[in-house]
Amino acid sequence: MEPRISRDQVAHVAKLARLALAEDELDVLAGELAAVLDYAADVAALDTAAVPPTAHPLPLANVLRADEVRPSLDPAVVLAMAPDAAEGRFRVPRILGGA
């Protein structure tokens, strides 16, 4: 039987999630993720034709708040959380790199 998830797919998902996985970890996770997918496949095997899709486990809709301004954080506190700051803003490495 075809494995549920290939090593390459695990590597791809890890890259998307910015996870640096070692080569041997890819094999371990491929197995573990396959187990998760097997579990989901059990559900997929059921006849759900008569079951409406569930958007959320809570039977709620329209949880709203009034459009009223509330105090924001002190920018000094906010910027203290930044790895680096300049001119009142978060300073980050250049984006997308290369030229």
Partner 1 sequence: MSAAVTVPVWPVEGWELVAGLEVHTELSTATKLFCGCRNAFGDVPNTNTCPVCLGLPGSLPVLNAEAVELAARVGVALGSDVRRSLFHRKNYFYPDMPKNYQVSQYDEPICVGGSLELPDGVRIGIVRAHLEEDTGKTTHVGGDGRIHGASHSLVDYNRAGVPLLEIVSEPDLRSAEQARAYVAELRAILVAVGASDGRMEEGSLRVDANVSVRRVGDATLGTRCEVKNLNSLRSLGRAVEHEAARQVAVLLAGGTVAQETRHWREDEGRTVAMRSKEEAFDYRYFPEPDLVPVAPDAALLERARAAVPMLPAARRARLFGLLSRGGDQDPARAGAPGAQVAAVVASDLDQLVAGAVERGAEPALALARVANEAAAEPDAARRLDVEAFAHLCRMEAAGELSATQAKTVLGVLLAEGGDPAEIAAARGLAALPAGAVEEFVRSVAAAHPEEWGRWLAGEEKVAGFLVGRVMRESGGRADGKAVRAVLDAARSRA
The CA distance from 27 to 10, in Å, is: 9
Structure tokens that stand for 88 in this block: 């009142």
Closest to partner 1 by CB, 24 vs 68, is 68
Residue that the structure tokens 């790199």 belong to? 97
Phi first, then psi: give them for residue 19, nearest 5 degrees. -105, 125
Closest to partner 1 by CB, 1 vs 18, is 18
User: Is residue 42 involved in binding partner 1 (CB under 8 A)?
Assistant: no
CB of 1 to partner 1, least distance (A): 26
Rounded to 5°, the CA angle 92-94-99 comes to: 175
User: Is residue 45 involved in binding partner 1 (CB under 8 A)?
Assistant: no
User: Is residue 90 involved in binding partner 1 (CB under 8 A)?
Assistant: yes
- What is the CB neighbour count within 10 angstroms for residue 10? 22
User: Is residue 37 involved in binding partner 1 (CB under 8 A)?
Assistant: no
For partner 1, the binding residues (CB under 8 A) are: 12, 15-16, 18, 55-56, 58, 60-73, 75, 78-79, 81, 86-96, 98-99
